[in-house]
Amino acid sequence: MKIGVLKETAQGESRVGLVPASVKTLTGKNHAVLVEQGAGLAAGFDDAAYTEAGATCVSRADVIAGADLVIKVAVPSSDEIAGLRRGTALVSSIYPKRNPAVLAALAQAGVHTFAMDAMPRITRAQSMDILSSQNNLAGYKAVVVGANALGRVFPLMMTAAGTVTPAKVLIYGAGVAGLQAIATAKRMGAVVEVSDIRPETKEQVESLGGKFIWVEGLDQVKIEGGYVAGASEEVLKRQKEAVEKSLINADLVITTALVAGGTAPTLITADQVAKMKRGAVIVDMATEAGGNCAVAKPDETVVVNGVTVIGCNNLAATVPAHASELYAKNIVTFLGQIVGDEGVKYDLNEEITTATLVVHNGEVRA
């Protein structure tokens, strides 16, 4: 089978769908790999490395014309979709709930589309889960970005000139990104508090040295498939009040909360930002999905009442070498699932395939 890798065209997207090591794995399984010239340069992988791994580096037009299956990282633009060949299979990020127009365009173009972000939350799909691999890196980088913007150090320091108290970090959300942010902030010496509506995350937070903000009734929250299915208004009110006490004293706040493929919830209002201390920093990791902070702007830094608010759309792309390596491993494992001896298997009775195949035979399935 011929597999193609396109160079990303989205602004700020420096990752690549396959790295040389993953190309070597695929060519070892008798697949031919076509890589667009320069596709890996922003991630630190030149054409010579791909060629040595067994790929053929060609023009974009040649990749599209020759590949049976095309790999991308970012959601395809309208121009990219228009350039794809009818009948091609596309494996990429799609975020179906946020991008109905993208799905419609792909269906009209006749492109069979697998959304890597729609991977089901089952054990055997964990090694294919791009959200986990990329959010892990993003959680680390969020702390680094926040620390760089903060006008104070993280750790406790006892010096001849006096004692420097540790920074107070508040993290909203204890998913993959949040847990990595906790671990990173703790390694840097901060005091870390964490808020999450899911009661089962308490043990994970505390195992990393964070303090979980618990409120009465949190153990009654309904969880389905790892996501919140229902919580009473009373519990939500209690949690907001409890978290606000930590918010107004925090030096750095990191928000990571997302709703599976949909719009991110607003967790910090403009009024709450106004209550925060001057010099504090907020890193909003969810601005691409609408943002968790009401005053955050996508990929922009704004200062409101002395509080620096940093909107981060795509932190994983700021560490493109490792992000690409992990993404490529997810892709190679996924291809092992959907590609057979005769090409792509569109087995709609198979759980992973039916969850990720969002466009097939000109129809939107998401």
* 284 assigned to active site: no
Look up tokens 């990929």; give the residue: 299
3-state SS of the chain: helix, strand, coil percent to 5? 40, 20, 40
132 is an active site residue: yes
Q: What is the DSSP letter of 304?
A: E
Pairwise CA distance, residues 157 & 112, whole Å: 57
Burial 315-338 (b: 16+ CB within 10 A, else e): bbbbbbbbbbbbbbbbbbbbbebb
Taking residue 9's Cβ as centre, other Cβ atoms within 10 Å add up to: 13
Tokens standing for residue 26: 């695929």
Check 59, 78, 126, 207 and give the catalytic one: 126
Quick check: is 140 catalytic? no
Helical spans, DSSP H, in 159-286: 176-187, 201-207, 233-247, 270-275
Q: Are 176 and 257 spatial neighbours (Cβ–Cβ below 8 Å)?
A: no
Structure tokens at 31: 């697949």
Say which DSSP state 267 is in: -
Distance, CA of 352 to CA of 338 (rounded, Å): 9
Among the listed residues 60, 85, 121, 187, the single catalytic one is 121
Query: Considering 37, 127, 132, 246, which one is annotated as catalytic?
Result: 132
Q: Are strands 227-230 and 32-36 parallel, antiparallel or unpaired?
A: unpaired
CB 26 within 8 A of CB 90: no
| Token pair for 90 | 């596309």
Among the options 62, 68, 127, 227, which is catalytic?
227
From 47, 117, 129, 251, the catalytic residue: 129
Phi-psi domain of 87 (left: phi exceeds 0; alpha: psi -120 through 50; beta: other): left
Q: Is 121 a catalytic residue?
A: yes
The three-point CA angle 4-117-292 to 5° equals 135
Q: How many CA atoms lie within 13 A of 66 on its CB side?
A: 19
Q: What residues are annotated to the active site?
A: 121, 126, 129, 132, 227
